[in-house]
Structure 1
Amino acid sequence: MDRRKFLKDSALASSLMFVPSFLKAFESVDSIRLGYKRLVVVQLAGGNDGLNTIIPYNNDIYYNSRPSLAITKDIIRMTDDLGFHPSLVSLRNLYDNGELSILNNVGYPNPVRSHFRSMDIWQTASDSHQYLQSGWLGRYMDMHGNKPYNAIEMDEQLSLAMKGEHFNGIATNDYKILHRTAKDPFFKSVLSHYNDAHLSEHNLGYLYQTMIEAKSSAKYIYENTKVRLSKQEYPQNGFAKQLKNVAQFINSNLDTKVFYTSLGGFDTHANQQNKQARLLSQYAESISTFVKDLKRNDTFKDTLILTFSEFGRRVKQNAANGTEHGAANNVFIIGKNLKQSGFYNNLASLEQLDDNGDLIYEIDFRTIYATILNKWLKADDKEVLNRDFEKLDFI
């Protein structure tokens, strides 16, 4: 097989390329560890409007700033001051059970309002002026992972958050397709040349090794998941499908510590109300079903769910019945036996905004990461995040 044909055909393997290059090929399945902690990350991509998600329904400034965009009907009143968007009704039981903690005013110093740059900051845990090439979860897996399937993202491409300095996870939106792709005759043809002395020294050696490891990971995921397919009925949307696959992985006791999922479409510059209502409904209904699935299989107690968005939205609505890019936002933590459930802190003042008309952040998002790393994943958070951050008390 010549180089040109190899590179041309390797497009077939694109979904399998996100794995480390330094591991040896493995086909045997290690004994599966039970009861260790798993983290599920949910990214609300586009910048969810936190002020219409957690609503200060007694605040006149909120209504005056959003004359046609403020939520006025069917607010789910949780405290004397704050309520849920009506589309979050499915999260009410989690809140009442002490399984949901809501952190308000989460952000970072000198906030950036570019989607791509702010997402990089959240995914790498960098300062706003700092550019890192590895993600916070990837760096965690550098220290605590040794197989590609230790970290799985439910997408065709791997996020920066999941890329370490030495370790990358697996990216797939369908583990069955991943398995079928790995069994394609193309792989057998390519791998049959791996021991050829000339090609093994060729600069394509990295790709060969990657394919070997991906093939083994695809087999491991498929073989260990197919016997524990979910019996829970999920909503019919793409985000719910991601969570259903994650639930199957968790309930099958895959040796996976980190799962990454996303729900996009939150960049609501125009006609926000209906769009956000639909997306929040998908989020809440899918998460509620996911938790039920885990509880049914007694795996919820060892699972923590983190939901974030790269920034919030401006307090004042715009002329198109939407909102512009903002700064501080809310973060949801879902899990069993949370130390502080409900609202972790009050909403920032709507009277004292920053120079751009945004909520002023109170909680640095990296303190949330540090808390999860230290208290949940039992990792050295300072080593992962490259500095020491305060630990919070939600877990």
Structure 2
Amino acid sequence: MDRRKFIKDSALASSLFFVPSFVKAFESVATEKLGYRRLVIVQLAGGNDGLNTIIPHNNDVYYNARPRLAITKDIIRLNDNLGFHPSLAPLRSLFDNGELSIINNVGYPNPVRSHFRSMDIWQTASDSDEYLQSGWLGRYLDAHGQKPYNAIEMDEQLSLAMKGEHFNGIATNNYKALYKTAKDPFFKSVLNHYNDTHLSEHNLGYLYQTMIEAKSSAKYIYEKTKVKLSQQDYPQNNFAKQLKNVAQFVNSDLDTKVFYTSLGGFDTHANQQNKQSRLLEQYAESISAFVKDLKRNETFEDTLILTFSEFGRRVKQNAANGTDHGAANNVFIIGKNLKTAGFYNNLASLTDLDTNGDLKYEIDFRSVYATILSKWMNVSTKGIINSKQEVLHFI
């Protein structure tokens, strides 16, 4: 095969298997077996406004700070002080059943209010002044992964969170298209030349390995998922489609331990009310359908769902009927047999704010990760979460 054609056509491999540093992708093979529990990550991209998500309905400071933006009607009161945004009504049964834990005031020291940098911090579990090239889930894969499909992101590109030093997950928003691409005649041609004597000269051996693993993963996902297609009704939106695919993977018993999904659009600097209401409705209805799907197939008990956003919003509304970038925010944990269901902690003070007018963080987000790794995934946090973090008691 002509080398120029090989390099040109090898884009097919990268579209299957997002490994920018593919030379390192298969240098190490983990020996530890993965457990049976699964983790589903939901990223609310853009910085969801936590104060209009979990509403301090009995706090005058909230209403005074947001004269046009505060939620005043149809609040779903969960206790004397806090309640759901009306769009979160589909989650009420999870809250009442003890299957939802809401952790308030989650953040990190010296918060960064840039979308890209703060998301990097959340995805790598770094300090605010530390720059890491691997994600916390990628490092989990480095230590405990065996195949690319052990972690799947429902997107066309792999997030930094899923990239390790030596091992990465796989990204696909359409597993059927992934399989079809892997069957392209080009792959057969490439693999027939796997023993080409010129491979070492051109340093392409690792790329061949990557392509072999990509094709194998695509076939495994497709064949395994065919046996358990979802019968649950889902809303008609892209986020719901992601969760429906995840449910099919989970219910088909794929050997995948981490799933990564996202819902964007939460950067609400202007005209926030309608936009956030619509997005929260998509989130809540989709999550409700997803949980029902898992329960129907008796897989909910072994699945934990973590929802986060890269930061919250400013306590005070801005002049455009929106909110600007803030700091601490709430995190949702959904699962069966939670140790601390309902509200894990109280909302931070709305008067004792940081110098930018933001909520002060109380719980380091890396403590949430450390708790999930040690108490749910049953692995050591060593080498995955660098900072020593306290273990929380929500699971």
- The TM tier, using the shorter chain, reads over 0.9
Mapped partners of 1:239, 1:384: distance in 2:
28
> More deviation in 344-353 or 382-391?
382-391
Establish whether residue 61 from structure 1 lines up as the match of residue 61 from structure 2.
Answer: yes
Map 1:25-64; keep pairs closer than 5 Å: 36-64=36-64
- Check the 8 A contact 2:13/2:214 in 1, yes or no: no
Mapped partners of 1:241, 1:316: distance in 2:
35
Mapped partners of 2:73, 2:351: distance in 1:
24
Establish whether residue 192 from structure 1 lines up as the match of residue 192 from structure 2.
Answer: yes
Match of 2:113 in 1: 113
Match of 2:294 in 1: 294
Match of 1:390 in 2: 390
Mapped partners of 2:321, 2:387: distance in 1:
41
Mapped partners of 2:281, 2:102: distance in 1:
17
Match of 1:22 in 2: 26
Mapped partners of 1:356, 1:23: distance in 2:
46
Map 1:66-145; keep pairs closer than 5 Å: 66-145=66-145
Mapped partners of 2:353, 2:27: distance in 1:
50
One-letter identity of the residue aligned with 1:290: F
Match of 1:4 in 2: 4
What SS does the aligned partner of 2:270 have?
Answer: coil
What SS does the aligned partner of 1:305 have?
Answer: strand
Mapped partners of 1:324, 1:269: distance in 2:
6
Match of 1:323 in 2: 323
CA drift of 1:64 comes to: 1.0
Map 1:227-306; keep pairs closer than 5 Å: 227-306=227-306
Match of 2:179 in 1: 179
Establish whether residue 311 from structure 1 lines up as the match of residue 311 from structure 2.
Answer: yes
One-letter identity of the residue aligned with 2:76: I
Structure 2 unaligned regions, length at least 5: none
What SS does the aligned partner of 2:198 have?
Answer: helix
- Aligned-pair identity in percent equals 82
Mapped partners of 2:81, 2:230: distance in 1:
39
Establish whether residue 168 from structure 1 lines up as the match of residue 168 from structure 2.
Answer: yes
CA drift of 1:388 comes to: 2.1
Mapped partners of 1:17, 1:217: distance in 2:
9
Match of 1:335 in 2: 335
One-letter identity of the residue aligned with 1:206: Y
Mapped partners of 1:15, 1:150: distance in 2:
18
Q: What's the TM-score once normalised by structure 2's chain length?
A: 0.96
One-letter identity of the residue aligned with 1:333: I
Paired positions, count: 388
One-letter identity of the residue aligned with 2:161: A
CA drift of 1:23 comes to: 7.0
CA drift of 1:206 comes to: 2.1
Structure 1 unaligned regions, length at least 5: 26-31
Mapped partners of 1:229, 1:383: distance in 2:
37
CA RMSD of aligned residues (A): 1.6
Q: What's the TM-score once normalised by structure 1's chain length?
A: 0.96
Mapped partners of 2:236, 2:84: distance in 1:
23
Map 1:352-391; keep pairs closer than 5 Å: 352-391=352-391
Match of 1:29 in 2: none
Mapped partners of 2:59, 2:70: distance in 1:
11
Q: Which deviations, in whole Å up to 9, do the C-alpha atoms of 1:349-374 show, x marking residues without a partner?
A: 00111000000000000000010000
CA drift of 1:14 comes to: 3.1
Q: Which deviations, in whole Å up to 9, do the C-alpha atoms of 1:223-269 show, x marking residues without a partner?
A: 00011000101100000000000000000000011000000000011
CA drift of 1:386 comes to: 2.0
- Check the 8 A contact 2:123/2:161 in 1, yes or no: yes
Mapped partners of 1:372, 1:201: distance in 2:
44
Match of 1:149 in 2: 149
Mapped partners of 2:319, 2:193: distance in 1:
62
Runs of 4+ in 1 over 3 A off after TM superposition: none
Q: Which deviations, in whole Å up to 9, do the C-alpha atoms of 1:81-111 show, x marking residues without a partner?
A: 1010000000000000000000000000000
Mapped partners of 2:389, 2:12: distance in 1:
43
What SS does the aligned partner of 1:383 have?
Answer: coil
Mapped partners of 1:117, 1:328: distance in 2:
15
Q: Which deviations, in whole Å up to 9, do the C-alpha atoms of 1:321-379 show, x marking residues without a partner?
A: 11100000000000000000001001000011100000000000000001000000011
> More deviation in 191-200 or 300-309?
191-200
Match of 1:211 in 2: 211
Mapped partners of 2:194, 2:95: distance in 1:
54
CA drift of 1:18 comes to: 2.5
